[in-house]
């Protein structure tokens, strides 16, 4: 040692700084010193020596020489122990990191992997950036130490990662995470950190710590250059998002999914060429739409279709469908229609997807029609309604088209649409209403016969009594307008039989039936209807009305006229007693009938009944006078017979006069109708001296000055 000190250069033992014999002498002395320490206690002897003799700045030369000699003899463990001894004595020395590297290398050469790992851990513990070694030092001045620290951390993390993968032991997982995080604490901004983030994420994923894995996958993907490794990390992050999301529910699940979708959107933007990007975009489109993020879903759908026109049809289907739905909700119906049509035109479209799209397309066209209707575009709205394809809403659309046409009095077009609707959908729930509207359309278009047939159809098909009643009544009126009296008659018969109330309407229908039966010379039915009118009025009770009484009175009058006609048809012939008896019987029947008619106290009927009654008496008087004379009477007997007839006829004539005078007396109460006038005419014939007086005209001349 004295010799070495003698040969020191600037107070440091350094044979390499010498030349020639001095160098050889110093090297020999150094070998002798190392050999001496090796015969003592090796590294411990060196430490003891300097502890007792005083510390030196060049102690490392002695430790190194001894260690190298051990290495030369393949005593790797002793060499490592020697290098470590120096480090233990001088942990803050600038040469300490290098000596620790020799420890690692010695174990490596000796094939002691566990000791290599431990030495690396020691290196990290001794020279970590938080250790005292760095007090007053800058990392930039010690790039080798920094590099070795980085390498050691990497090796430690990967070792335990691999061990965890092999054995699944939790301690290896925890150590691997520890060393990865330690590495990233100091080297996160370096390019290798990208791989370390990815490896840590992989480790966490394997351990099913998916939420933490996401953090490091995303850092690896987006904090560094966008390369293949970054895109792999970005896609792996999405897988981790999905795995973690399966264990969540409620608000937490939705919040996590939104984070996942944010990451997916980021992935598709940063890695447009990744083979999974179209699939990722399709998921973003679908889920964003379902979550109500329509602006994001819309942008993603357009991006998928613009940038990946040749992508799989199933992905295009998602994009077009969502675009259609969003545009539909935004009331951009033409654009929505285009989107749905594009979706439906895709090849290999599954039927379970096609059916809802077809319905959506139909709903879009229908809503556009509604929009046009609200804007007052009647023609365009009708065209849109009728353009709705086969779907659940098609029938409603055609019905709305017809309704719109009806509201704008486009009767013929409305009728055409309604008729087609009913023909194509005879069992549809709207068909009864369609028939009613079709009837209205025909009626307003002037097609009374067609309208009547529709109302008849409605009456036959409906279970609603009010609807049936109105329809039958309307059908009868329209058949009458169309001149189809046979069908009018059938409609009225059905009406009066089915609907006795309201009373007045029923009786009016019977009155019209009387006209129709009379035109057909069906006296039996005419009488039946008159009797029905009389009976209905009689049995109406509190429901009886002035109109029902009026119609019943006229029906009674008509029946009385029939009785009068029967009375007048009987001629007085021989034998007079027999024919007169028959005639008087008919007379009593007619008089009773007129009395019943008059009992209704309907002015016009009363005056008619009075006049006709008077006519009966006058007729009988005249018939007696003009009756057939018995055969074989001589002149005297004949004169006597005729005198007798006059005596019998006179009271009847007086009765006729009395009744006519009763009739004309009604003028004082303001009643003056055709029957009163005819009573005046009759009195003029019966009592000309009194009632046949010529009218005198008074001419007034006015002079204007």
* Tokens representing residue 633 in the block: 């009477």
d(CA 580, CA 628): 11
Bond into 502 cis (ω within 30): yes
Residues 6+ apart with CB under 8 A from 687: 657
d(CA 84, CA 120): 12
Q: Answer positive or negative: Cα dihedral of 483, 485, 487, 490.
A: positive
Q: What is the pLDDT of residues 498-538, one digit of tens each?
A: 899 899 998 989 999 999 999 999 999 999 999 999 999 99
Query: Residue 324: CA atoms inside 13 Å, Cβ hemisphere, count?
Result: 24
663's enclosing H/E stretch is helix 635-664
Q: Give the pLDDT means over successive 10-residue stretches in the chain (705 positions).
A: 78 77 83 91 90 84 90 92 92 92 94 93 92 92 92 94 93 95 92 94 95 95 89 95 94 94 95 95 95 95 95 95 96 96 92 93 96 95 95 94 93 92 89 87 89 86 85 88 90 90 90 91 92 91 90 91 90 85 91 91 89 89 82 80 81 86 86 86 80 49 35
Helix H segments across 40-142? Answer: 43-53, 59-72, 76-89, 96-109, 113-127
d(CA 382, CA 372): 9
d(CA 599, CA 595): 6
Shortest CA distance to 88 belongs to which of 54, 129, 125, 113?
Answer: 125
d(CA 426, CA 124): 89
d(CA 404, CA 417): 11
List beta partners, residue 12.
9
d(CA 430, CA 399): 8
Shortest CA distance to 416 belongs to which of 393, 450, 452?
Answer: 450
Shortest CA distance to 495 belongs to which of 479, 481, 482?
Answer: 479
| Inter-CA distances, 187 with 36, 65, 146, 156, Å | 44, 35, 10, 15
Q: Are 96 and 66 in contact (CB under 8 A)?
A: no
| SS percent in the chain: helix, strand, coil, step 5 | 80, 0, 20
Collapsed DSSP state (helix, strand, coil) of residue 12: strand
- Residue 463 has φ and ψ, to the nearest 5°, of -95, -5
Helix H segments across 375-410? Answer: 378-387, 394-407
Shortest CA distance to 402 belongs to which of 358, 448, 433, 363?
Answer: 433
Give buried/exposed letters for 207-236 (b at 16+ CB in 10 A, else e). Answer: bebbbbbbbbbbbbbbebeeeeebbbbbbb
d(CA 555, CA 636): 49
Give the DSSP letter string of 453-489.
Answer: HHHHHHHHH---HHHHHHHHHHHHHHHHHHT-HHHHH
* Tokens representing residue 637 in the block: 């007997």
The secondary structure of residue 332, as a DSSP letter, is -
């Amino acid at each position: 040692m004295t010799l070495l000190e003698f040969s020191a250069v600037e107070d440091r033992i350094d044979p390499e700084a010498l030349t020639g014999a001095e160098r050889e002498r110093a090297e020999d002395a150094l070998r002798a010193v190392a050999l001496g320490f090796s015969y003592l206690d090796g590294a411990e002897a060196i430490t003891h020596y300097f502890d007792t003799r005083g510390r030196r700045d060049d102690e490392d030369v002695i430790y190194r020489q001894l260690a190298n000699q051990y290495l030369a003899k393949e005593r790797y463990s002793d060499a490592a122990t020697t290098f470590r001894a120096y480090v233990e004595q001088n942990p803050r020395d600038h040469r300490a990191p290098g000596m620790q590297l020799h420890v690692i290398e010695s174990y490596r050469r000796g094939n002691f992997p566990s000791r290599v790992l431990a030495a690396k851990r020691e290196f990290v513990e001794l020279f970590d950036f938080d250790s005292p070694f760095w007090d007053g030092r800058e990392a930039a001045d010690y790039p080798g130490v920094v590099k070795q620290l980085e390498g050691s951390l990497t090796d430690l993390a990967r070792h335990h990662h691999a061990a965890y993968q092999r054995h699944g032991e939790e301690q290896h997982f925890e150590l691997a995470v520890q060393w990865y995080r330690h590495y990233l604490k100091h080297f996160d901004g370096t390019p290798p950190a990208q791989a370390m983030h990815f490896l840590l994420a992989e480790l966490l994923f394997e351990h099913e710590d998916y939420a933490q894995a996401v953090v490091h996958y995303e850092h690896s993907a987006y904090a560094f250059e966008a390369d293949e490794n970054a895109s792999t990390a970005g896609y792996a992050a999405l897988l981790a998002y999905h795995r973690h999301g399966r264990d969540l529910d409620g608000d937490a699940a939705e919040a996590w999914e939104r984070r996942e979708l944010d990451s997916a959107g980021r992935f598709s933007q940063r890695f447009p060429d990744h083979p999974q990007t179209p699939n990722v975009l399709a998921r973003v489109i679908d889920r964003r739409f379902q979550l109500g993020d329509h602006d994001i879903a819309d942008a993603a759908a357009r991006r998928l279709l613009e940038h990946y026109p040749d992508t799989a049809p199933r992905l295009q289907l998602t994009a077009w469908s969502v675009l259609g739905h969003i545009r539909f909700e935004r009331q951009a119906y033409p654009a929505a229609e285009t989107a749905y049509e594009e979706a439906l035109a895709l090849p290999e479209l599954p039927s379970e997807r096609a059916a809802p799209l077809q319905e959506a397309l139909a709903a879009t066209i229908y809503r556009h029609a509604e929009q046009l209707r609200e804007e007052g575009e009647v023609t365009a709205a009708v065209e849109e309604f009728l353009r709705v394809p086969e779907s659940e809403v098609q029938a409603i659309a055609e019905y709305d088209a017809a309704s719109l046409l009806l509201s704008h009095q486009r009767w013929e077009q409305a009728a055409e649409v309604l008729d087609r609707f009913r023909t194509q959908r005879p069992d549809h729930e709207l068909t009864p209403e369609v028939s009613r509207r079709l009837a209205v359309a025909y009626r307003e278009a002037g097609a009374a016969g067609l309208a009547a047939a529709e109302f008849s159809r409605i009456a036959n098909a409906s279970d609603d009594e009010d609807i049936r009643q109105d329809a039958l009544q309307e059908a009868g009126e329209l058949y009458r307008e169309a001149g189809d009296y046979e069908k009018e008659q059938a409609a009225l018969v059905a009406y009066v039989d089915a609907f006795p109330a309201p009373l007045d309407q029923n009786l009016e229908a019977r009155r019209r039936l009387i006209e129709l039966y009379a035109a057909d010379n069906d006296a039996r039915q005419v009488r039946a209807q008159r009797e029905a009118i009389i009976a209905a009025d009689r049995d109406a009770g509190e429901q009886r009305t002035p109109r029902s009484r009026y119609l019943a009175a006229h029906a009674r009058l008509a029946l009385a006229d029939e009785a009068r006609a029967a009375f007048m048809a009987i001629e007085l012939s021989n034998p007079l007693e027999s024919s007169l008896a028959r005639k008087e019987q008919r007379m009593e029947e007619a008089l009773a009938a007129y009395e019943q008619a008059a009992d209704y106290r309907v002015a016009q009927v009363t005056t008619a009944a009075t006049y006709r009654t008077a006519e009966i008496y006058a007729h009988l008087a005249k018939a007696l006078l003009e009756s057939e004379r018995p055969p074989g009477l001589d002149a005297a007997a004949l004169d006597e017979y005729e005198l007798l007839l006059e005596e019998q006829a006179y009271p009847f004539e007086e009765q006729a006069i009395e009744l006519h005078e009763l009739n004309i007396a009604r003028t004082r109460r303001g009643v003056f109708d055709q029957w009163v006038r005819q009573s005046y005419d009759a009195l003029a014939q019966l009592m000309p001296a009194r009632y046949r007086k010529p009218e005198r005209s008074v001419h007034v001349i006015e002079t204007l000055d």
